[in-house]
Amino acid sequence: MTKENCLYVPKGGDLRKSLISECHDTLWAGHQGEERTYGLVQRAYFWPQMRDDVETYVHTCLICQQDKADHQKKADLLQPLPIPTRPWESVSMDYISGLPKVGDLGSIIVMVDRLSKYATFIAAPKHVTSEGTAHLFFKHIVKYWGLPKDIVSDRDSRFTGIFWTELFKILESKLSMSSSYHP
């Protein structure tokens, strides 16, 4: 069976894996990576989920993994956050987005006291701004629990911008960022 002059490779045995190996591991192929390996395989062959099979093969190729390790930035050691001494002294904050929209609300701001693990969930507009987040923070957290000394958040642009930096400087609080990437 053919499709655009490409041979269909049936499932079963190691034929598919051997063809991917031929287009990836050999000296003439040179461990080119996922896209180029897929391009070489699809020139002559086809089967359902071929791209997934190529991706899995390349991601598990020992030679590629050993070579790639030299080019990637080494991850630093994780630094533990200090343990708060009283409730609401330190709060972690994050967004849940991609939710079905209800009226003009389409996301949730999650604020968790790091000592007691008490969580507050605040409905927010889908694309809430830094200022909008600050307003909700004061309305739902500061109003009831007081101003925390420290807020831990991810590196969302709403927290890394000038607005939050200046706000925390004025309030004499600290904004801590969680680790950006740890494989």
Report whether pLDDT(39) > 70.
yes
- Could you tell me the CA-to-CA distances from 24 to 35, 37, 89, 116 in Å, in that order? 11, 6, 54, 52
Please report, for the chain, how many H helices and E strands are present, in that order: 8, 8
Query: CA 109 → CA 6, 113, 159, 169, distances in Å?
Result: 51, 13, 13, 22
| Antiparallel, parallel or unpaired: β 174-177 and 150-153 | parallel
Tokens representing 116 are 């007691």
Q: What's the pLDDT tens digit per position in 132-150?
A: 888 999 999 999 999 898 8
- 30-34, 69-73, 88-92, 108-112: the lowest-pLDDT one: 69-73
Question: Domains plus CATH for the chain?
Answer: 2-71 (1.10.340.70), 90-177 (3.30.420.10)
Strands (E) across 11-104 are located at 45-46, 90-96
